[in-house]
A and B are shown apart, each in its own frame.
Chain A
């Protein structure tokens, strides 16, 4: 029993089909629970008022935006090294989801920034690097779309993802250098004595879990769709030959 068994599309379809309903229900339960708890049953912040509650969308979306890219990097590496098609398709499936999370983080950040910082947009390192991350997602998806041969597309996007990761990381530190930040530091570090107050922390934790599960659900659905599309093409090709 090894994880590479799931590189077999049939096995992957079986297992993911079995997992999907449970994960979906859990994702929606956690998100609904966390968001309702966060929006209606936590006190307003003494400085930020009700706007503090956007944290329940903003922080999980931002976390998943980065994690989605990391997942794409890992699956791309697996594709390059072991040539498992499911892996490449999972990377393809994750890209639009990651881009959407990035956009959610940017938009909720702008909505929060307007009343709090007095501006929709500030060229702050974190904001800027997220915008750059969004551009990376766009380029990655555009390359997938542009190439017709699926294997060539998988190879080239994998190379782009690997090189892009290095440059995304470089950009992250370069923008730090270029402008000092307005964005508050990390409020959820594991190694810090004081984090966000527990009142906000527990619903936030539920929301983060919900977003992670949502991401897993969407990636599974989209990967399954990609596999089915691939099978359909194979069927069509076979029919044309016959």
Chain B
């Protein structure tokens, strides 16, 4: 499993793209929004939590189809499916690898973009906390969506249509944590619910994703 993780990470780094692209996209969103809504600090501060979360979510979405597509094309997914390791484990590892190259950098870069968007001081800690807790859910849910569409030639657009509605609860609780943090309110409830979604998704969705992959490989 660890070998698979290292292999996936190496591929993501070397193939160029997956790693930097999401981050660059995130940065672009944070730059484009003030250009669109105007430079007033107050407005920006108000919408910053939502923009940062939506930006992170879209950046995550960008690289989802890479989770299984390349392995499907060159046949390594068939090998993984017939390997002694359960496919569910392989899916979980691949989602983890996806998180390490998208979710984690996004979490680390988010405070910087928070400065650009005039995020209130109280929000920074909770921005990082909510992204750190929430982006794994985005990766796991995304892996499920990618597993559903892996057999399709042009599955990219369909993948977003399938995955975005599934992201709704994560987005709501994630943005709520930052909003409350920025307003110096109690964040425990949404934070706990966000953690619950991540834990629940990580525990159950690999099974659904593995089932979908088996169907697609049939």
Contacts and interface: CB of A to CB of B under 8 A. Distances in A.
Interface in B197-217: 197, 205, 208, 211-212, 215-216
Interface string B163-205: 0111011001100100000000000001001000100000001
Interface residues of B, number: 27
B151 interface: yes
Interface stretch (A15-23, A59-67, A152-160): A152-160
Contact of B212 (A159, A170, A175): A159
Interface stretch (A48-56, A138-146, A221-229): A138-146
Contact of B165 (A156, A171, A175): A171
A152 B176 CA distance: 38
B185 to A, nearest CB: 14
Contacts of A136: 165
Interface stretch (A4-12, A95-103, A161-169): A161-169
B6 interface: no
B161 interface: yes
B165 A167 contact: yes
B208 to A, nearest CB: 5
A132 interface: yes
A160 B144 CA distance: 9
B169 A167 contact: yes
- Interface residue tally of chain A, by bracket? 20 to 34
A36 interface: no
Contacts of A163: 144, 166, 205, 208
Nearest to B190: A177
Contacts of B176: 177-178
Contacts of B205: 163
A123 to B, nearest CB: 11
A152 B168 contact: no
A148 B165 CA distance: 24
A174 B144 CA distance: 21
Contact of B158 (A146, A152, A155, A175): A146
Contacts of A107: none
A188 interface: no
Interface of B is mostly: helix
A113 to B, nearest CB: 22
A32 interface: no
B161 A156 contact: no
A139 B215 contact: no
A156 B158 contact: no
A178 B172 contact: yes
A156 B212 contact: yes
B34 interface: no
Interface string B138-178: 00000010001101100100100110111011001100100
A160 B208 CA distance: 9
B174 to A, nearest CB: 10
A152 B216 contact: yes
Contacts of B212: 156, 159
B148 A160 contact: yes
Contacts of A168: 165
B218 interface: yes
B152 A147 contact: yes
B152 A146 contact: yes
B168 A146 contact: no
A164 B165 contact: yes
Interface of B: 144, 148-149, 151-152, 155, 158, 161-162, 164-166, 168-169, 172-173, 176, 190, 193, 197, 205, 208, 211-212, 215-216, 218
26 contacts: A135-B165, A136-B165, A139-B165, A143-B158, A143-B162, A146-B149, A147-B151, A152-B151, A152-B215, A152-B216, A155-B215, A159-B148, A159-B208, A159-B211, A163-B144, A163-B205, A163-B208, A164-B165, A167-B165, A167-B166, A174-B169, A174-B193, A175-B172, A177-B173, A177-B190, A178-B172
Given A171-B169, A178-B176, 6 more contacts: A146-B158, A152-B218, A155-B215, A167-B166, A170-B197, A177-B173
List the 10 closest pairs (A to B, CB-CB), nearest first: A174-B169, A155-B215, A135-B165, A170-B169, A171-B168, A174-B172, A139-B162, A178-B172, A167-B166, A139-B161
